[in-house]
Amino acid sequence: MRKAHFVSLGCAKNLVDSESAAGLLGSSGWAISAFPEDADAVIINTCAFTREAREESNEEIKALSKKISPDAKFIICGCLAQKEKEKLFEQFPRADAVAGSADYRHICSILQKLSASGAKRRGRVLCVGKADFISGFSVPRLISTPRSYAYIKIAEGCSNHCSYCAIPSLRGEFRSRTENDILREAAALAEMGIRELILIANDSAFYLKDPRGRALGGLLKKLHRISAIRRIRILYMHPAHISEELINVIASLPKVARYFDIPIQHTDDHILARMGRSPFSETEALIDMIRKHIPAAALRTTFITGFPGETEKRFNKLTQDLKRLKFSWAGVFAYSPEKGTAAYDMSGRPSAAEALSRAKRLMEIQRKISFEFSRGFAGKRLEVIADSPLAGRTEFQSPGVDGEVIFTKKQRPGAMKKMLIRSSKGYDLLA
């Protein structure tokens, strides 16, 4: 049996694409190998969102090129492929095929074409089309996450066109799956034993292009009726599309995690205007509204430091706002200039070293706030889902980014029960 090895870089949306590509190959008689050395095909799904992401993708491609069999087919796909196209053949001579961010659906035909060219005469396939596809329930998918949770991509692409962001060019304009298609996949995942659904998109609150999040609220109500699903989490919601109505829906549904992932990027209005985002007063009013309706909610956000026009004074405002607002969790990124974006040629850009220094300073402040947030759970009984025998998560923790619950006694993966939080250690909780 032919074997394929997958490497998926970047975000959870990319992971779902990799799972779909693996599912398509599995349906065509391929087995999935954990090791690149013994695979007949090696597929890397790349990220190109920032310079650091591209560097990671490039390094991983180089490393895989050295590991794989001389006869193995090597396919570079994803956002780096969408961005660079045929240039990747020049940069990486070992590559047999390059497939764009929406072209994973052609993985079987790509491998067929490569096989037809023969092992000795190395043919090449370029398959980079318009990023306008979104996978649905009809596309088979091989779930790679722990059996406790799975991601569901409810929409793809982005139409917000923030000045710093290349996503519209890498993943296309915003488009949604139908509600019925999502519900069918959710029911199938529940039958597999999945207990937590994590809804993802580049802007989940904009589902079905509803600017007030009402469509997302309707979807949540229907997902909530699936009895075997114990928790529903929403990631990546643009603050402009979160309404009081959506907040009330989340507050009314016990299975929906009291967790808001809202990237605000900055708090200085001059910077926000240059980013193409709303004034901070609107975002701050949203934060107050969430905390009014759901006092226990965990709030996660992201910030960008070193954006063009960020003076030391404007950065200091950001640090003071961070201390005052006390987000539960945050990611901080130094600004990455992206060709083709509106911000690329903006004046007043701090040096890369200064942007990185500010990111580290901001993250140090946030680290203390997050540790304090974690300490607040000591002595409380919280519902915890076991991702493995040794660790799990509360509703206030998203996989891979917010710490986890470390168990003193082994638990059955997928089990969900109330546990006493004995103490905290950094980002993690001990139970």
The string of pLDDT tens digits covering residues 28-87 is 999 999 999 999 999 999 999 999 999 999 999 999 999 999 999 999 999 999 999 999
Mean pLDDT across the stretch 299-318? 98
- Tell me how far apart the alpha carbons of residues 291 and 289 are, in angstroms, rounded to a whole number: 5
Give residue 118's pLDDT: 57
224: its two tokens: 């909530």
Strand order in the sheet with 329-334: 259-261, 298-305, 329-334
Domains of the chain: 3-127 (3.40.50.12160), 149-375 (3.80.30.20), 381-430 (2.40.50.140)
Q: Let me know: does 5 contact 39? Beta carbons within 8 Å.
A: yes
**For all residues of the chain together, what is the average pLDDT?**
95
Pinpoint the alpha helices (H) of 4-125.
12-27, 51-67, 79-84, 87-91, 107-117
425: its two tokens: 């250690």
Q: Residue 66: CA atoms inside 13 Å, Cβ hemisphere, count?
A: 5
Give residue 117's pLDDT: 65
Give residue 116's pLDDT: 80
Residue 234 has pLDDT above 70, yes or no: yes
Q: Which helix (H) or strand (E) holds 324?
A: helix 312-325
In percent, the amount of the chain with pLDDT more than 90 equals 94
Task: Note the pLDDT tens digit of each residue in 82-121.
Answer: 999 999 999 999 999 999 999 999 999 999 999 886 544 5
Q: What is the torsional sign of CA 155, 7, 19, 76?
A: positive
The neighbouring-strand residues paired with 330 are 301
